[in-house]
Amino acid sequence: MIDEDLSYLNKNSSEQNAQSEGKAEDSLDWAKEAYERLKKQQQERKEKEVENIANNSSANLEVSDKVDINNQRGTHLTTDTQVLNENKLEQVPIDSSSIEEDLGDFNQTFTWSAEVLAAQGIKSKDISIDEINWLGKLKQGLEKTRKEFVTDLLDKYGDDPLTPEVVDDLEMLLLRSDAGVAATDEILEALRTRLNEDVLGADQGLKFLKEKLCEILELPIKSSGINLLSPKKGVLNIWLLVGVNGVGKTTTLGKLANLAVRSGFSTLIAAADTFRAAAVEQLRIWAQRSSVSLVANESSNADPAAIVFDAIGAAKSKNIDLLFVDTAGRLQTKNNLMEELKKIRKVIDQLSPEANVESLLVLDASQGQNGLKQAMAFAQAAQLTGVAITKLDGSSRGGVAFAIASEAKLPIRFVGVGEGIKDLRPFNSFEFVEALLAKK
């Protein structure tokens, strides 16, 4: 089922970046109107759910025993009976109750989220509960970074014009949030140059700072020529998730697969992390949550490249739009693991040279500057095209986003702020900076 409201990956990127300033009263009206509409929408959804349950109560939902298909390589394709006509199948009913989210209260977080959406030129009728909830989560997720970085800064800013002393303090704050030397220098230089030209009032100073921060995050996105990453139509898209152990590759893949399915893309997952025994089972649970088929091989130390080989074959025969590949958490110092990644790339290039390949480095925000070192180490072997930042929640190092953009020069494509299936969204620099510098 394609839910129009949820088609993030299909969304026109220009919508996301259009910015316009609204008056405070307008935005409060806007927020109230949006809240009423969403509340009504939620009520209707719930009534429909009750109706569906009543209608289905007599239907017997039978789940067949899980059986795998063995092909000549020993790679298994587990799948849904309704989608494919294979003889050994796994039927996966989706538990949508764990996916649908409720609208929270009409409070400061709601109005702040509504303001951020309105400032991007998004119409009240076009927003969804998911979008509102996401902004609340993003703001909450950046709270630790904000406490160490922004609260101090905003206190110092006060209501007075920006002074050179405040700019000096900003340097320390940026470095402390792991923004890195290059981004920090760039921001300070811009602020100092601007201050030499003009006196900046508190609001103007903050606005200038926000614009500068956005600019740093946007640069690699603009250079890539792709504003909002989404699968290309008409070709096989292959998205590799790479990164060291425990950063959140498998979780991110699970959330992305859900996003892809809700956006209407036919999706397949390749379980190419054969290094850890439990990796396939963890991935299977994520696949089941979105009813996505999985290509896997349970035997220990199966060849990841062979799994990718079979997954591409399956993707081609089933007309898949988007194939996700989970990979092992290889340490950048371990050469053989980098070799494994190169081999996977080679298989893709040979078998599907026309494929549109994205290689996303998953970075744990709480690792701060270490993450940046990982990015540099992975960049070559994995031919990285972008970054997904995870675990922004609970980390005070959200500033690392600026280091990734300015030093690794990689576009940030997704951010994760929790372990839930909806705790990940495409990266939007305007929203990120607004959440980071939120006053309330």
Ligand X SMILES: Nc1nc2c(ncn2[C@@H]2O[C@H](COP(=O)(O)OP(=O)(O)O)[C@@H](O)[C@H]2O)c(=O)[nH]1
Give the residues lining the site for ligand X (CB under 6 A).
Answer: 243, 245-251, 329, 362, 390-391, 393-394, 416-419, 423
Measure the CA–CA gap between 242 and 99, rounded to whole angstroms. 26
Minimum Å gap between C-beta 239 and Mg ion is 15
Please say which residue, 276 or 318, places its beta carbon nearer to Mg ion: 276
CB-based contacts of 181, cutoff 8 Å, min separation 6 = 175
Residue 250 touching Mg ion (CB under 5 A):
yes
Starting at the earlier edge strand, list the strands of the sheet with 267-272. Answer: 69-70, 76-78, 293-296, 267-272, 322-327, 237-242, 356-364, 386-390, 412-416, 424-426
Indicate the SS3 state at residue 412: strand
Task: Write the interaction track for Mg ion spanning residues 31-70; mark x where CB under 5 A is met and - where it is not.
Answer: ----------------------------------------
Listed ranges 82-90, 214-222, 250-258, 342-350: which one lies at the site for Mg ion (CB under 5 A): 250-258
Helix extents (H) in 120-142 = 129-141
Q: Which is nearer to Mg ion, 250 or 395 (CB)?
A: 250
How many Å is the Cα radius of gyration of the chain?
A: 23
Q: What angle do CA 93, 257, 378 make, to 5 degrees?
A: 145
111 touches, from ligand X, Mg ion, none (C-beta below 5 to 8 Å by class): none
Which listed option, Mg ion, ligand X, none, makes contact with residue 245 (CB within 5 to 8 Å by class)?
Answer: ligand X
Binding partner selected for residue 425 from Mg ion, ligand X, none, CB under the kind-specific 5 to 8 Å limit: none
Q: Least distance from C-beta 140 to ligand X, angstroms?
A: 11
Distance between CA 48 and CA 39 in Å, rounded?
14
**What distance in Å separates the CA atoms of residue 41 and residue 398, rounded to the nearest whole number?**
34
Residue 304 contact among ligand X, Mg ion, none, beta carbon within 5 to 8 Å by kind: none
Which of the listed partners (ligand X, Mg ion, none) does 418 bind, with a CB threshold of 5 to 8 Å by partner kind? Answer: ligand X
Element (DSSP H or E) covering residue 296: strand 293-296
Write down the least CB distance from residue 271 to Mg ion, Å.
9
The one-letter amino acid code at 249 reads K
List the structure tokens of 84. 């494919």
- Whichever of 122 and 365 has its CB closer to Mg ion, that residue is 365
Nearest to ligand X of 243, 304 (CB atom): 243
| Piece in contact with Mg ion (CB under 5 A), picked from 72-80, 165-173, 246-254, 376-384 | 246-254
For the CB of residue 289, give the shortest distance to Mg ion in the complex, in Å. 15
Residue number with CB closer to Mg ion (179 or 242): 242
As given in the structure block, the two tokens for residue 422 are: 């909806």
Contacts to Mg ion by CB under 5 A: 249-250
